[in-house]
Chain A
Amino acid sequence: ELKVEQNPLFLSMQEGKNYTIYCNYSTTSDRLYWYRQDPGKSLESLFVLLSNGAVKQEGRLMASLDTKARLSTLHITAAVHDLSATYFCAVVVSGSARQLTFGSGTQLTVLP
């Protein structure tokens, strides 16, 4: 059974600071997703990571994937208040039909 663990679950950070959210998963995967969710809203796709060593960046967010370590990171650079949201990683098991297994989410609050 695939398990996906995110940490931390809660993160408060000051504006302008850097931080990293970690996503560990327990079995072989051929793709990993990062999503953002604002309160009461749906999920917004941030990144799709398809191969070992993949790195993608959008604005102040950068995601990377290490399939050998079964680890993905979401790095936040110089945080701003608008980044406050819950961030989820989700993993697709190799050979499956795109069923996503989600982590529990990291609730990020960026303080002024």
Chain B
Amino acid sequence: NAGVTQTPKFQVLKTGQSMTLQCAQDMNHEYMSWYRQDPGMGLRLIHYSVGAGITDQGEVPNGYNVSRSTTEDFPLRLLSAAPSQTSVYFCASSYGGGKDEQFFGPGTRLTVL
């Protein structure tokens, strides 16, 4: 089991560029989510998915899109990068039903110039 994987590990963008952060899990988890972490703060939820084909917004969704075409993958798209999106991005996944532990990926450190 690779667990939750994220690519790339690091990325530098210019303002206005677009890109996709990749997240994949091989544990057949129903629930996947994206968080961002800014210095001195806890993680904040961007978008989440409760299963393939179903996504919803979290606390800070503006400027980001997601889709969930398969159970395994949950990519996060930055449509037009802004300096305010400089952050560390974490993907997480968990089982549905009564199992509660959430597993986090290694993170993607994004800098927008």
Contacts and interface: CB of A to CB of B under 8 A. Distances in A.
Given A90-B42, A100-B45, A102-B43, A45 B90 contact: no
Q: How large is the interface on B (under 10, 10 to 19, 20 to 34, 35 or more residues)?
A: 20 to 34
Given A4-B42, A104-B40, A104-B42, A99 B58 contact: yes
Contacts of A90: 42-43
A69 interface: no
B105 interface: yes
Contacts of B94: 98
A90 B100 CA distance: 12
Contacts of B71: none
B105 A42 contact: yes
A67 to B, nearest CB: 15
A48 B43 CA distance: 17
Q: How large is the interface on A (under 10, 10 to 19, 20 to 34, 35 or more residues)?
A: 20 to 34
Interface in A20-67: 31, 33, 35, 41-43, 45, 48, 50
Contacts of A42: 90, 104-107
A101 B102 CA distance: 13
Contacts of B33: 98-100
A48 B100 contact: yes
Interface of B: 31, 33, 35, 40-45, 48, 50, 56, 58-59, 90, 92, 94, 100-107
Q: Which 3 A-B pairs have the closest CB atoms?
A: A102-B42, A43-B104, A102-B43
